[in-house]
Amino acid sequence: FTPQSIYRFTFLDTGVIGGAFSPFSHFLFHCNGYIWGVQENYQTSLLITHINTKCHTKSKASKYNMAKLGTFELIDEVTSENAIPVKKYKSSQTGLTVTIAAIEGPLVEGYLVLGTEASDDGGLPHTLEHLVFLGSMDYPYKGILDMLANRCLASGTNAWTEIDHTAYTVTTAGSEGFINLLPIYLDHVLFPLLKESSYITEVHHVDGDGMDAGVVYCEMQASETSGESLVSLEMRRHVYPGPCGYKYEVGGILKDIRTITTNEKVKSFHKEFYRPENLNIIVCGSVQPQHLFAAIKPIEEKIIQHKLDLPFRKPWLSEVPPMTATISSEVCFPCIDDQSKGIVHVAWRGPSADELYKVQATMTLLEYLVNSSISPLQKEFIETSEPFASRVGYGFYENSATSMYIAFSNVPQEKLNLIEPKLLDVLHHIYHNSNGKGFDMSRMQDIIHRKKLDHLSKLEISPHLVIAMTVIADFLYGQSREDFYSRLNQIEMLKKLKLEKEEFWLQLLNEYFLTGFHATVRGKPSSQVLEDIAEKEMERIKARKKDLGERGLEVKHNVLMEAIVQNEAPIPPELIDRVSVPSVDNICYHHIKFYSNKKRPKIHELDPHFKFGLHGLHLRMDVDSLRTNFVYMMVKMNTSSINRDLRMYLPLLLELLTESPVKKGDKTLPHEDVIKQLDRDSQQVSAFFGSWQHPKYTCGPFSHLALLSINVEVEKYILGIGWLQDLLYNTVMEKSRVKVIASKMLSNVDECKRNARLIKEAIIKDTLYPRDSNPYCINMFRQQSFLRKVLDRIDEHESCMEVLTALEKAKSEICDISNIAVHMALDANKMADHYHDTEDLAQPWKKIFLPGEALQRSHPPKNPFSIPPDSTLINLVKFNRGYITALGTDESSYLGQVASCPIKYDDPVFPSLMVAVQYLTQLEGPMWRHIRGLGLSYGFSIIVNPLEELIYLNLNESSNIVGAYREAANIIDEYATRKMEISEGMFEAAKSSLIFEIIEKENSITNVIQESLLLCLKGLDRDFNKNLVAMVNKVEKTTLPDAINKYILPLFDPKKSNTAVVCHPSKVEDIITAFKEFNRNLQFIESLEKHFVKEIR
């Protein structure tokens, strides 16, 4: 092609398209550095001519090739990481921005994003986020948005408030429901009612007892006095001094929510920031742009009709005041039972947000400093016999003026003042001793490569969110199309970083960490602060009651009741029926093929491109083939037969597997080299209990399963198999590593003990599982006691040998070939392309992984690999037990309740029970309206677990746990006894939202793999979820009351259920007394450690 010529393209087979080439009316391309476009569009040909301008060097779009869709012009177009096309449009009439990312899969995710900037701690951004959902100009009813979302194959809507923006989200199965819901959602965001009655119930009110409540108030109450929240806020105050929105608590501080925030201020905030010019509609998934813009058109017309005269001021354009000094401070946070551990954050200001390359480099440097146990900071602070902390991590605020911090968790009080000087010493040593291996360039290369793999992995784990967050950052702080391109193509920046020399990194370290000002905040636990807060709160409520008197309290009660009546106005059924329920037939699932040698199929005969030879492998193996950049290898180990004494060692063993020396022939590879080489050869290595990773000291489904997982690039497939063999069979149990790992684990327990949800779960699980089970032995308090004993014994030679022998014995038992199987996920096409000369991809497993005795077999093990379902472990449960304990770090209350639920996945009643649970708990369903809607509890759930044959009730972050529980009990009773009828509209919404949640299980590559593993363990067909969708669709409304009566109602029978409550110390006595109303006698656990470890020798 040359610029002086005109070219005609003639299409010989016009029948394929049928008629004029309308799709090409805005067809442009680039060639030889020039833009080319359509001059004339004929019936059978196109006349292509050169446009007299050079192509943009980065972005494929320019002002000359912008296609228009209605009022929207395509202003930029980028392919993210050579995989995901992203197009940005802007309206010429309203300034509204729309960004579309074409992501494959069954789900469409929408993010309605507005830049928001707080000017105080009143929580206006957060408050408005909540009020948006309570009705709009065209849909003036509380809860209608979520009810309609449920009908659109979504599970309601959601939102978050960040320091610099507010985002409203919805995810639907397929695009039809998304297109139907979008204009309704936009009406709520841009034209909300913001009624005073809504403010009263959703944000803050004083009830008839003189207590503060409201959904927002309840939510912030749960976190305001936690050590992490207090330290984080204090840190931001120091890093962003002077008038600056980054220093404020956007969620709101309780005192300010009570005293300075009003509904009128919320309305003013909406007028200032909720403008079309400040809104970006980000859509990730498979959608047709013309359908999307057609849905937006009525809203655009409404925006023009109601256009404000108020000039628009884009947020975050004001100059951010600089840090002018290094500062150090201390904050005390309430603590009841452990004053030994604190928190330290050390923070610096970073590059400007528009210095993208420097921002990426700074985050990479932080990775180098803290990532993995061989990083400089982990070696100095964590990997010692007397750790300074249980964990060191970093955070990065990508604000207009960025900031970053290094965080130390669970710091012994005597070391709180030592963290900052030691940290600066370590950083100075790295800078001044680079020639003496202070800076490891080889490891930096590995870090950059790992960052590339992590980024690609995130695009498989949650591609929608990764793209959305990238677009949000550009929307807020992007300066040019080059910025847009660079943010969406981070791998290009990482490739450039890989070429940087040592001097670059040392200069970066010096510029931001050594010569720049910094702020240090030490969080110190204090029981005195706990007492002071409780006393002040009691005095405040007492004074209020006195000021209001009986008459005033009655007025408060009446105002609240009136607000509730106004907010609960019934929604006309015809308004709901306007939005039809989409069909599930056209939803595009991820394509997956499954192979297994359970029945010895000849894999290569099924797929000529995939030569694996499973039929000749002396190892039980399942293989998924789907589109992925990685090979996921998971070794499944059955721990069922191990005795209880050895079972206590299993958590320590799993931690040691990936951080111990490895025997290589006559030589031993030190643990540092093992970790370094693993970082180089893999994207991720992990070991845990259950079929997916749960929080520390808990188990996932199939609790007697131990899983060792490694993810590698296709070209490192054989290396990955070698690493699995080394980690399972060649690790060396070494005294020094046992000491360091046990010390780290012990410090992690302290962190878990401040988490009310984990404590609640620990108490509940302890009422269910026997002494010889993993959930019993992995319990955080038992592990704390056990690890202390290990550390006591490790320093004495004889007892040390006993510990090492026990670990080796436990390892040999669970790694015995009769106890293991492998689950793999890969892309068969990519494997075939890369290993085209390899006859059999099973050969490395035979030659490298399998021990010698396994090779003597001619077939895979005869007995199928089977992990017992957890229900077989808990068949002797004693019910009618209840416990309550106190936690001073959280002012909210938490309840967990469990009962028997004898049902399996293939039970004909299972779909009806799932719909019944969904009906009760769906957004704007009965429990939502009467529990969260009244401000009694922020979180609630009912969970059916057929693997355990149990059913759970959870109430989380509750400001009134007794009231929330009473409402829950009444709701279940009314539907179980048919006093309350099942609503047709809510029934259809429940089915639709449940269908979405089933499909959501396979929304990404990694979720498909995880679900495949779980279905394999359950012994269910690979099409189980698709079949369940069909069965849910067929559930009749009349079946719900019986399902509620038989399976859910027993939750509220004290003789058939167990209860656990975690609350603030000041509430214990009142809750114990109140629960007698429900015939529940809650036993107070004064010391959790004594309660759990009384049986441990």
User: Where are the extended beta strands (E) located within 81-229?
Assistant: 84-91, 97-101, 107-115, 158-161, 165-173, 205-206, 212-213
Q: Is residue 11 part of a domain?
A: yes
Q: Is residue 921 part of a domain?
A: yes
C-beta atoms surrounding 995 within 10 Å:
26
User: Binning pLDDT at 50, 70 and 90, where does residue 751 land?
Assistant: confident
Pair 134, 567: CB distance under 8 Å: yes
Same structural domain for residues 519 and 629? no
Q: In whole angstroms, what is the distance from residue 183 CA to residue 162 CA?
A: 24
User: Binning pLDDT at 50, 70 and 90, where does residue 596 land?
Assistant: confident
User: CA distances (Å), 906 to each of 874, 911, 1019, in order?
Assistant: 20, 9, 11
User: CA distances (Å), 491 to each of 115, 498, 1023, in order?
Assistant: 27, 10, 36
- Residue 736 pLDDT > 60, yes or no? yes
Q: In whole angstroms, what is the distance from residue 895 CA to residue 1061 CA?
A: 4
Q: Is residue 950 part of a domain?
A: yes
Total tally of structural domains belonging to the chain:
4
Pair 282, 110: CB distance under 8 Å: yes
For residues 855 and 118, the model is more confident at 118
Same structural domain for residues 933 and 1076? yes
Last residue of a domain, one of 794, 819, 852: 852
Q: In whole angstroms, what is the distance from residue 117 CA to residue 244 CA?
A: 9
Q: Is residue 807 part of a domain?
A: yes
Same structural domain for residues 936 and 1017? yes
Please give the pLDDT value at position 46. 47
Please give the pLDDT value at position 861. 64
Please give the pLDDT value at position 671. 95
State the virtual CA torsion across 818, 824, 830, 834 in degrees, nearest 10.
-30
Element (H, E) at 1056: none
Percent of the chain's residues with pLDDT above 90: 76
Same structural domain for residues 812 and 887? no
- Residue 47 pLDDT > 90, yes or no? no
Domain harbouring 488, CATH code = 3.30.830.10
In this structure, what token pair is assigned to residue 713? 């690039």
Q: Is residue 165 part of a domain?
A: no
User: Binning pLDDT at 50, 70 and 90, where does residue 854 land?
Assistant: low
Please give the pLDDT value at position 419. 98
Angle at 1026 between CA 822 and CA 638, to 5 degrees: 25
C-beta atoms surrounding 1087 within 10 Å:
11
Q: Specify the range with the lowest mean pLDDT, choosing from 182-191, 561-570, 859-868.
A: 859-868
Last residue of a domain, one of 55, 81, 96: 55
User: Binning pLDDT at 50, 70 and 90, where does residue 594 land?
Assistant: confident
- How far apart, in Å, do the first and last CA atoms of the chain sit? 83
- Residue 338 pLDDT > 70, yes or no? no
Q: Are strands 107-115 and 97-101 parallel, antiparallel or unpaired?
A: unpaired
Q: Taking all residues of the chain, what is their mean pLDDT, rounded to a whole number? A: 89
Overall average pLDDT of the 229-237 stretch = 97
For 760-798, give the secondary structure using H, E and C.
HHHHHHHCCCCCCCHHHHHCHHHHHHHHHHHHHHHCCHH
In this structure, what token pair is assigned to residue 182? 């979008």
User: Where are the extended beta strands (E) located within 670-784?
Assistant: 684-689, 705-713
Q: Is residue 572 part of a domain?
A: no
Q: How is the beta sheet containing 593-596 ordered, strand by strand?
A: 593-596, 621-625, 820-826, 630-638, 705-713, 684-689
In this structure, what token pair is assigned to residue 115? 């830049």
Element (H, E) at 406: strand 401-412
Please give the pLDDT value at position 857. 54
Same structural domain for residues 371 and 441? yes
- Residue 606 pLDDT > 80, yes or no? no
3-state secondary structure of 500: coil
Please give the pLDDT value at position 889. 80
Q: Is residue 1003 part of a domain?
A: yes
Last residue of a domain, one of 510, 525, 540: 525
Angle between helices 289-305 and 176-190 in degrees, nearest 10: 20
Q: In whole angstroms, what is the distance from residue 233 CA to residue 459 CA?
A: 31
User: CA distances (Å), 923 to each of 184, 254, 506, in order?
Assistant: 16, 26, 52
In this structure, what token pair is assigned to residue 845? 């497993």
Same structural domain for residues 881 and 848? no
Please give the pLDDT value at position 406. 98
Q: Is residue 211 part of a domain?
A: no
- Residue 953 pLDDT > 60, yes or no? yes
For residues 324 and 42, the model is more confident at 324
3-state percent helix, strand, coil for the chain, nearest multiple of 5: 45, 20, 35
Same structural domain for residues 936 and 1027? yes
* Residues facing 327 on adjacent strands: 519
Overall average pLDDT of the 718-736 stretch = 96
User: Binning pLDDT at 50, 70 and 90, where does residue 914 land?
Assistant: very high
3-state secondary structure of 376: helix
| pLDDT, tens only, 9-20 | 544 333 332 333
Q: In whole angstroms, what is the distance from residue 756 CA to residue 222 CA?
A: 10
Please give the pLDDT value at position 613. 75
For residues 49 and 897, the model is more confident at 897
Overall average pLDDT of the 915-925 stretch = 95
Same structural domain for residues 1036 and 928? yes
In this structure, what token pair is assigned to residue 699? 């188990």
Q: Which of 680, 678, 794, 787 is nearest to 726 (CA)?
A: 678
| pLDDT, tens only, 758-799 | 999 999 999 999 999 999 999 999 999 999 999 999 999 899
For residues 865 and 954, the model is more confident at 954
Please give the pLDDT value at position 159. 97
Please give the pLDDT value at position 971. 98
Same structural domain for residues 775 and 923? no
Alpha helices by DSSP H, 585-649: 603-606, 644-647
Same structural domain for residues 1048 and 962? yes
Pair 612, 840: CB distance under 8 Å: yes
- Residue 69 pLDDT > 70, yes or no? yes
Parent domain of 342:
327-525
Close Cβ partners of 120 (under 8 Å, ≥ 6 residues apart)? 248, 256, 260
- Residue 639 pLDDT > 80, yes or no? yes
- Residue 198 pLDDT > 90, yes or no? yes
Same structural domain for residues 819 and 928? no
C-beta atoms surrounding 706 within 10 Å:
28
Close Cβ partners of 436 (under 8 Å, ≥ 6 residues apart)? none
Q: Are strands 630-638 and 705-713 parallel, antiparallel or unpaired?
A: antiparallel
Q: In whole angstroms, what is the distance from residue 896 CA to residue 761 CA?
A: 7
Pair 628, 712: CB distance under 8 Å: no
Same structural domain for residues 848 and 881? no
Q: Specify the range with the lowest mean pLDDT, choosing from 307-321, 622-636, 675-689, 935-949.
A: 307-321
* Residues facing 394 on adjacent strands: 406
